[in-house]
């Protein structure tokens, strides 16, 4: 594990393999290990950089809400620390929200984009209010109830019915976050800007990946991104939910490998 200081937080990241850099951003409320199964098919040709996002895994949360601006700055500092000028990026859920902000601020460092189980829209009022309410409740009640609430929203129906091992592992990953971590990350996501207008500015190769059984972010949001990002492609991973790249890691790894190989 590698560590760097980014403002008020220590950010931890892992590097696997060697070759052109490929940065993989995990979803909330997991950490970098979510990407490890899919990354196995990539390390023979690529240098895989796997951060724990601010407030996730081993990375510190810092002070105040973990905004997309803070996450994007963390990512730029990580690239500097790792000696990477330009890379291909994949982001799941909050990872995608961060990549929209990173594109607005540091687009010269982006060679290609993968947007997985994410959406460009800002939270609607009801979703924002729910996030902020959960941020309050988790500080009062602790994390277990929140994790139990999230698991059915994060894992597809097939995974929940046939892979109790993955359900148990997902629960362990989610419990890594403290109540303070969850609260400040939720607050940051609740205030993220709308990125629909940003989609039309993306002029690098782009792959949109969605989970067939994702109940958190529907396929229509993936289609919206495909329509607005010039020359992008939409792929759907069957029998998978919001954590599709982990639930069906072999299929995800193949998709990503084909895409990044085509970008070289």
- Mean pLDDT score of the chain: 97
Q: What is the CATH number of the domain that holds 19?
A: 3.40.50.1820
Task: Return the closest-CA partner of residue 67 out of 9, 114, 119, 133.
Answer: 9
pLDDT in tens, 110-148: 999 999 999 999 999 999 999 999 999 999 999 999 999
pLDDT in tens, 28-55: 999 999 999 999 999 999 999 999 999 9
Among left, alpha and beta (phi > 0; psi -120 to 50; other), residue 86 is beta
Q: Can you tell me the mean pLDDT for 242-263?
A: 97
The pLDDT score that the predictor gives to residue 13 is 98
Task: Return the closest-CA partner of residue 29 out of 157, 176, 226.
Answer: 176
Q: Which residues partner with 114 through β-bridges?
A: 90, 207
The pLDDT score that the predictor gives to residue 264 is 78
Flag whether the pTM goes above 0.85. Answer: yes
Number of folded domains that form the chain: 1
Q: Can you tell me the mean pLDDT for 94-105?
A: 98
Q: Can you tell me the mean pLDDT for 227-245?
A: 97
The pLDDT-based confidence of 7 (bands split at 50, 70, 90) is very high
Residue 28's domain spans which residues? 2-262
């Amino acid at each position: 594990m590698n560590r760097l200081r980014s403002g008020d937080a220590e950010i931890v990241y892992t590097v696997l393999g060697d070759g052109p850099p490929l940065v993989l951003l995990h979803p909330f409320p997991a950490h970098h290990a979510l990407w490890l199964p899919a990354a196995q098919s990539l390390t023979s040709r690529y240098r895989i950089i796997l951060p724990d996002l601010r407030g996730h895994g081993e990375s510190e949360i810092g002070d105040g809400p973990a905004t997309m601006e803070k996450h994007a700055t963390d990512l730029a500092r990580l690239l500097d620390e790792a000696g990477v000028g330009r890379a291909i990026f994949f982001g799941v859920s909050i990872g995608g929200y961060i990549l929209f902000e990173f594109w607005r601020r540091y687009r010269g460092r982006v060679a290609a984009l993968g947007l997985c189980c994410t959406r460009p829209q800002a939270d609607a009022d009801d979703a924002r209010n729910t996030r902020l309410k959960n941020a309050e409740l988790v500080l009062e009640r602790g994390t277990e109830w929140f994790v139990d609430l999230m698991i059915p929203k994060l894992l597809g129906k097939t995974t929940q019915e046939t892979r109790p091992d993955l359900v148990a592992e997902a629960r362990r990953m989610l419990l890594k976050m403290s109540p303070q971590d969850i609260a400040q990350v939720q607050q940051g996501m609740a205030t993220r800007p709308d990125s629909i207008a940003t989609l039309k500015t993306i002029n690098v190769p782009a792959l949109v990946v969605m989970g067939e059984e994702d109940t958190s972010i529907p396929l229509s949001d993936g289609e919206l991104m495909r329509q607005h990002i010039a020359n992008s492609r939409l792929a759907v991973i069957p029998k998978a939910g919001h954590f599709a790249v982990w639930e069906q890691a072999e299929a995800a790894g193949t998709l990503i490998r084909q895409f990044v190989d085509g970008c070289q």
